[in-house]
Amino acid sequence: MAIASSAEKTKALVDAATTPATAMPLGAMGLDSDGQLVRKNNDGLIRFTFNYMGYQFAVRAEVAPGHTRMRIHAVLGHLPYTAEAPDLRTNMRAVVHEAGRALGGRISITSEQRILFLDEFNFDETLTPQSLLTKTVAFLLSAKPYLELLALIAGASKAVYALLPAPEAQSPAE
């Protein structure tokens, strides 16, 4: 059945997208000459960015039938130099260390002193909008308390910074 008007095409796309039995992988979609929903490009690569709590996240997903590999990452900022704010640097390192420990190493500090948040998912299903949102939201919710604390510390004014506890003195053996 060939679809002639743009209104018919739009209705067919909406109908196909809302029918659970026809769950399609994400990507550019279109209708073939028979009016069936198909992917326009079959490269299996999906990339996009989004902003959450003031941080810019990037997502890259490689999709194959029945399997998906998804990577989410963000640079959460940079550690300040010791000469600029030694207490702030120490507090930020402590938060990153605890977040990394609690989240299985997904938050870390690179050799360039960037705070990096990264995770990869491999799952045996085709990437659909539902699975994409589920994985992304679970990833963000697991780190939300640490993201909030890093945002507070990194953007702290002098008044807020004065409320933070002073870092504990470390003995030379540590």
Whether 113 and 79 have beta carbons less than 8 Å apart is answered as yes
The three-point CA angle 156-48-13 to 5° equals 135
Task: Name, of 18-27, 74-83, 162-171, the range with top average pLDDT.
Answer: 74-83
- The mean pLDDT of 30-56, rounded to a whole number, is 73
Nearest CA-CA partner of 72 in 138, 8, 126, 117 = 117
| Structure-model confidence comparison of residues 59 and 156, the more confident one | 59
| Structure-model confidence comparison of residues 67 and 172, the more confident one | 67
Residue 157 is predicted with a pLDDT of: 44
Reported as half-sphere exposure (CB side, CA atoms, 13 A), residue 169 has a value of 2
The answer on pLDDT for 31 being more than 80 is no
Residue 115 is predicted with a pLDDT of: 93
Count other C-beta atoms under 10 Å from residue 121's C-beta: 16
pLDDT in tens, 103-155: 888 899 999 999 999 999 898 887 777 788 888 888 899 889 999 988 887 76
Q: Which CATH class is domain 43-163?
A: alpha beta
Residue 42 is predicted with a pLDDT of: 59
Confidence category of residue 88, pLDDT binned at 50, 70, 90: confident
**Which amino acid is it at 17?**
A
Domain edges within the chain? 1-41, 43-163
The answer on pLDDT for 64 being more than 60 is yes
Count other C-beta atoms under 10 Å from residue 137's C-beta: 11
Could you tell me the two tokens for 158?
Answer: 């002098």
Rounded-to-integer distance, Cα 28 and Cα 131, Å: 17
**Which amino acid is it at 86?**
P
